[in-house]
Structure formats: C-alpha cells, structure tokens
Structure 1
Amino acid sequence: MPQDGRRISPATVETIAGLTAGLASTIIVHPLDIIKTRMQLDTSPNPLLNSSRSVAHDILRNEGPTRIRALYRGLSPNLLGNASGWALYFLWYKQGQDLVRSLRAYPQNKALTNVDYLLASAGAGALSAVLTNPIWVVKTRMISTSSATEGAYPSMIAGIRSIWRTEGIRGFFHGLIPALFGVSHGALYFLAYENLKIWQRAKRQDQQLSNMDTAIASALSKVFAGTITYPSQVVRSRLQRYDPGAKIITANPGFIRVTTDLWRNESILGFYKGLGPNLARVVPSTCVTFLVYENTRWALPRLFNEDSTDTKTVL
C-alpha cells in the first residue's frame, strides 16, 4: 500500500475498468453501429434489398461533410452511453454478486450458481438500462439520419434540448420496454461467459487465463446471447426513431403495435435485420471490452501496491 495511505476500493476498480473498456470498444466499432441501426429501421419486406454493403456505400457517397464525419456521426452519445453503461454495469454486477453471496451466506470459496449469475447480471442490466435510455434515444436518432437532413440533430446537446422541448420527459424513455427485455441479453451473456471461464480454468488446471482465452469466451458468449435477444434491439430502434422533417411530433406507436406490425409486414426475418453487421460489431467490441476490463481491473490495485486475489488475464 502507498506510504500516503491511499487505497483504491473494489467499486472504483470495477467502475474505472468498465469505463475504460466502454470507451475503447465504442471508438473502434462505431461505424458498424450506424450500419446496423440503418438496417434495423428499414421497413422493406425483403431484408436482402438493404444489405450492409449498400448501406455503407450510401453513407460514404451521400453523407458528410467528410467520410470520417459520416461514419462517426453520433459518436458522442454512443461514447457516453457505452462508457457510462459499462461502468455502471460492471459496478452493479460485482455488487450484485456480493449481495447474492451475502444473502445466501456462501463461504468465500464457494462458486456462485448459474441462477446467482443470472440474478446479479439481470439486476445490473435493468438499473443500467433505465439510467442510460435517454442517451440511447439521442444516439439512435442521430445515427439513423444524415447530418445534412433537414431537422436532424446537429449534436447530442441539440438532440437533448429538442426532445425536452417537443416531447417532454417521456421522450427520453422511448424503447425502454424492449431495452428491459434486452436485459436478458446481459444475463445470458454473463451466464455463458462465467461458465466458459470456469471451463477454461479447469482445462488449464486453475492456471491464469490468457488474453486469447478471454477473447474466445467473450466472443462465443456474445454470439449466443446476441442471436437469441436480437429482436428486442430492432423493436427498440423503431420505437426510438423519428422523422426529422415532421412539423408535428406524432405519438409513439407503442411496443405492441411496433412488434405486431413488424411481424405482419416483414415476418420473422424483419426481427433480424442488421444481425450480420451487429455481430460483426459486437463480437470484436466485446472482445476489446473484456480484454481491457479484465486487464484494467487486474492492474489498478497493483498501481496502488495492493494485493489482489483477482485472477489476471495474462498479457
């Protein structure tokens, strides 16, 4: 411990690790997030007509003022949402595990069960979803429109002001119901991730996991959870969209209406529009997130010369 008596708390470690991981992963894959959202909002009955390649080509050719600006439109709310979302999620996920362990009176060396992991991750996900939903509304509206479109939000602050002025507080919570359904994504992800890490440690006879082990576990878990829960993302995007050229903001159609219209007009394939670029975005993003997270949470206590029982992800 440092001579000045400073000590970094476990909660601070989790928050900083999650914040750092969210920032790094968002910057890397933001362009794919734009393509995915544009595909989710396409209402044509044939999803093949609006492929990820055609969407990307259209953005690069028609939007600007530069290609880089076009590909990174809406980055500020995406950075804020992901960084704060991951920071809060990891903080509450760790606290949720501690709470479950305390309520069940587990000894320190007893592993949590699958149900325990589900409860901790679902609770963390629900709290994070509610607090970050306003940011996601602004992000969705920014990346779903070109900056040249009349009425499009020129910045995150402008978007917040516009929503407050025209829709009130309720405008910030469009898509919250499917977002809460999407909490199951985090629960399924962490269930798979924790079990894969246990399996990998057993194979290595409790030796330290490598970065490759972490990347494989996070990638497989993301594909598993992402494919199962993806339809909720499509519904949420459609609830959060808006027409920037509209003179009057119409009432939100509602979760049930959007879901039934999607099924009636676009069939089951409509619920999976943008899945390809989504997996191409979230799998490397998740790998980066958890590599940064695992290594940051290992390194921070050692920067303060503290002993840590955390298993290091080997560099």
Structure 2
Amino acid sequence: MTGQDGLSSSFVETVAGFTAGGGLNALPSSTRSGENKTPGYITRVLCPVCFLSSDISVFLVDRNATTRLGSSIQIVRDISRYEGGFAAFYRGLAPNLVGNSTSWALYFLFYGSLKNGMCIYRGSFSALTSFDYFLASGTAGALTSLLTNPIWVIKTRMLSTGSQFPGAYSSFTTGVKHIYRTEGVPGFYRGLVPSLFGVSHGALQFMAYDRLKVLRSHTNQDPSSLGVGHENKTRKLNNVDFLALSSLSKLFAGCATYPYQVIRSRLQTYDAPLMYRGATDAIMKVWAREGISGFYKGLGPNLLRVLPSTWVTFLVYENVKIFFT
C-alpha cells in the first residue's frame, strides 16, 4: 500500500514510529526510589515499562520504603546532591534515544505490515477483529523485544546506579563492553523471558487503541457503514481523540500487565545476577517477602507517570502518518 506521495506504508510506519520514539527523549530519563544508603548510591530498581511505553517505573526494594510525596522529594534532592546535579536526571539518555527510536520504528513496521496482511486476508480494515489486532500487536512486540532487549538491559543498569557508584557504566558503549566481557552474549538477554510474556501489554494496548479508533470514527453513523467496502464513511479523528483513546488503552493495558513489569525490572538491574537465579526465583522472592502487593507497588504513580509519554508517542505518530499520507 502507498500514500498519496507514492510512499510505501512500511516506510511511513517506520518513520512515524522512529520519530515518535525520538520525541520521548525530551522527558527526563531517570527516576529513583528507596532509601539513601551512602553518597553516590541510592537503593532503587527501575525498568522501562515495556518498550511500548519506554517509561521509567519505580519499584521499591526496601520493605520499609514508601511512595509518599515527601520521600519522592527527598529522592530528587539526594540525586541532585550526590550524582551531579541536573545532569543526573538525564543519565542514560543515549540508550534512551537508541532504544526508544529503534523499538518504536521496528514495532510499527512489524505491526503495520501484519495489519496490512490481515487486511488483505479479511478484505477490509473495518473487518479486522479485536483478536486480529491482538495477534498483530503481540507478534510485532515479540519480534521487537528479541531485537532490542540488549539496549534495554544497558539502559536499565545505567538508570539503576548513580554515576558515582563503583562499576557504574559511564556510557552506552562502556556498558556493551562490560556485559560482553563479564557475562557474554547471554548477559544482553537478561529479562527476555519476562519481556516476551510482557508483550501482552502492548498487544492489549494496541488492540484497545485500534478498536477504540474504529468505534470513535464511526460514532453517530449507520451501523451498516462498518461493513466491507465502507471505509470512506468515517469521520476523521483529531488530536483530542488521539489523546483520549491512547489514555484509555494505556490505562487498560497497564492495570492488566503490571506484575510482569516488576519482575522484568528486577531481573535487569545491575545487581540482579547476585539477587535472583531467574524469573521464577524473582517471583518467589517477591511473593515471600512482600506478598501480592509486591507485584503492584507503585501502580498508581506509574499510571500517572506513563500517560505523558503515551500522549507524546501517539500524537507524534499519528500526526507524522497524516503528514505523509
């Protein structure tokens, strides 16, 4: 399929995804949690909440740590004081830039191509079912995870250690060299299994988003317009629609898949090799030490935190697509 300028849909999807991912890097890339132990090191565990959101989510390691506003303010002060001031909040920007842009570009390329294939099979985009969107999104997510997991491992380790912490990665390339030297190729794929399970987050998010787009675009129209051959009888969506629909789909997916994000985060941190033997061990330890609540710590603040990046991503993506097509 091609746009009005003869550009292929794959090209448009890739450029739109790459641009949307790059736009996320205007946001601070570091969030910390936990108790201050010593200058230059604050106990915390972070993770990119699924490559589809490229967010940084807070998970508390210390059983007595809190998520109160006062604690958050203290964490900000400690990071600024012990880790280099304002620049510390942008630690990990290089892997952020590479990871976000590459992940979104690959994801939308795969997702768009799969939807086009399903469209040809079904005969119309309007004929695609929720399961079709779920399958296309899940497959695209799995492929993207396989290709980009090394980037997220380095990013998470950079963000989970302050620049003054002994052994902390000073740059993206330093992280690559260190992991290859100390852990070999398998080190780049720590947390991959939970990531693959976590593809369900993106699958649910995009299933909901695309279905909501279809419903919204056919609001107040004859139900018969939803059939094959009636794609032109739809209203154009605007930025307010994109904001509302992306928010609803993100909230839905975030609530449904949050526990896996906690486990993946803990498996990808700098000291994970010393703490956990694998995903099963991490699950058992979280359950034993913190109970069911341990899998949902920080859910509320995280849902509020991820929405701005979701808005940026979808607004940029949709508007770039409109520009090219």
Same fold (TM over 0.5): yes
Q: CA RMSD, aligned part only?
A: 2.3
Cross-structure match for 1:296 = 320
| Bigger RCO of structures 1 and 2 (CA < 8 A, at least 6 apart) | 1
Cross-structure match for 1:61 = 81
Aligned-partner residue type, residue 185 of structure 2:
I
Cross-structure match for 2:129 = 113
Aligned-partner residue type, residue 117 of structure 2:
L
Residue 210 (str. 1) matches residue 238 (str. 2): yes
Aligned equivalents of 1:243, 1:25: Cα separation in 2: 27
Picking from 142, 157, 170, the partner of 2:173 is 157
Aligned equivalents of 1:24, 1:282: Cα separation in 2: 14
Picking from 123, 145, 149, the partner of 2:139 is 123
Unaligned runs of 5+ residues in structure 1 are 1-5, 302-315
Residue 227 (str. 1) matches residue 259 (str. 2): no
**Alpha-carbon distance, 1:270 to partner:** 1.5
- Of residues 157-166 and 250-259 in structure 1, the stretch that sits farther from structure 2 once superposed is 250-259
- Checking the alignment, whether the CA contact within 8 Å between 2:161 and 2:270 is kept in structure 1 is no
Specify the SS of the correspondent of 1:93: helix
In structure 2, the CA distance between the partners of 1:188 and 1:79, relative to structure 1 (3 Å rule), is same
Unaligned runs of 5+ residues in structure 2 are 34-43, 48-56, 222-233
In structure 2, the CA distance between the partners of 1:29 and 1:112, relative to structure 1 (3 Å rule), is farther
Could you state the TM-score of these two structures normalised by the residue count of structure 1?
Answer: 0.84
**Alpha-carbon distance, 1:46 to partner:** 4.0
For this pair of structures, how many residues does the alignment match? Answer: 288
**Alpha-carbon distance, 1:41 to partner:** 5.0
Q: Normalized per residue, which structure has more helix?
A: 1
**Alpha-carbon distance, 1:129 to partner:** 0.8
- Of residues 106-115 and 141-150 in structure 1, the stretch that sits farther from structure 2 once superposed is 106-115
**Alpha-carbon distance, 1:101 to partner:** 3.0
**Alpha-carbon distance, 1:279 to partner:** 2.0
In structure 2, the CA distance between the partners of 1:55 and 1:37, relative to structure 1 (3 Å rule), is farther
Cross-structure match for 2:88 = 70
Cross-structure match for 2:280 = 256
Cross-structure match for 1:243 = 271
Cross-structure match for 2:51 = none
Q: Give the percent of matched residue pairs that are identical in Structure 1 and Structure 2.
A: 48
Cross-structure match for 2:201 = 185
**Alpha-carbon distance, 1:240 to partner:** 0.9
1:4-43 Cα shifts (integer Å, max 9, x gaps) = xx84221111000000001102322524589882874532
Aligned equivalents of 2:296, 2:73: Cα separation in 1: 16
Cross-structure match for 1:27 = 26
